[in-house]
Amino acid sequence: MATEWFYTTNKQQMGPVSWKELLELAEVGILKPHDLIWTEGMDDWVKAINQKGLFANSGAEEAVSAGKKSSYTQPKPPPGRRTRRADDDEEEEDEEDDKEAKRKARKRAEARAKTSVGIKIGLILAAVVFVMLFLSCAGAVLLWLSFRGAGNNPPQKMDNPPMGNPPPKAGPRVQSYTVRNLFQDRIHEKRFNFQQGQKVVITSTNNLTFPNTDVDLRILRGNDQNPFAWDDRLPEQDRNCRVEFIVPATDSYVVRVVNLGPGMARTCDVRIEEH
């Protein structure tokens, strides 16, 4: 197998080339005497002028260059001649690169995990809000429908009402008040509004100081001073009073209690029933 040579020119490592090609490079001036060369078996790079047979006047040049130190920075050995330290440095760099790649991959995985958790939480919150809004809207619709149905559906007449007791009739509208210490020749008046066609029953239960004290009950319409209904019975007939009438017209009416004496009426309990 032909020997392969490596050389430097312009501070750059070149090759491999054969010995014949190396001689041609030296002859045309591409390879200069102070350029470095190396081949398998050499311990280190050497100057081209120091290689026997490469330059014609290599002996004289060798003597001149023996005492000189080249300013050229020694290049790295070609493939196959790398130092152990270079290999160790490269292994350390590879380890650092692996660590950095793993660190970046771990950060990317953590970022993806955080993003995934955030998305899940957002979806859960959105679902909860949607359900709450849906339930609120459904409740509002049902409430609206119930009110609408109650307002638009009039009570239906029953052709055949169920057997049993008839529904109770509405009782009379009752108002009452008490007149206290009504002295002789005094009157007490109170005004009420009655509707036309109503049946009105007014009673006065009297507590008198003397059995013969005469208390009368009179009903006047509006501002008219003449009563249209009254009870003027004497106490011997009935010490209490009662008036019953049908309201002739919708208007205000005055209930007048009169003490004609003798003596005082301690209390007169007036009761008004509107049928």
Domains in the chain, CATH or no CATH each: 1-96 (3.30.1490), 173-274 (2.60.120.380)
Q: List, for residues 15-71, the tens digit of each pLDDT value.
A: 999 999 999 999 999 999 999 999 999 999 999 999 999 987 554 444 444 444 434
Among 152-161, 185-194, 250-259, the minimum mean pLDDT is found in: 152-161
Q: What pLDDT does residue 38 have?
A: 97
Task: Convert the pLDDT of each residue in 204-249 to its tens digit.
Answer: 999 999 999 999 999 999 999 999 999 999 999 999 999 999 999 9
- Residue 80 — very low, low, confident or very high, per pLDDT cuts 50/70/90? very low
If one counts every other C-beta atom within 10 angstroms of the C-beta of residue 54, the result is 20
Q: Answer whether residue 173 shows pLDDT above 50.
A: yes
Query: Taking all residues of the chain, what is their mean pLDDT, rounded to a whole number?
Result: 82
Decide if 7 contacts 49 (C-beta within 8 A).
no
Task: Identify the pLDDT of residue 113.
Answer: 83
Token pair for 172: 């009379």
204 contacts 269 by C-beta, under 8 angstroms: yes
pTM reported for the whole predicted model: 0.40
Amino acid 94: pLDDT:
65
Three state DSSP letters for 241-268: EEEEEECCCCEEEEEEEEEEECCCEEEE
The whole-angstrom separation of Cα 183 and Cα 205 is 16
Residue 270's nearest CA partner among 157, 258, 62 is 258
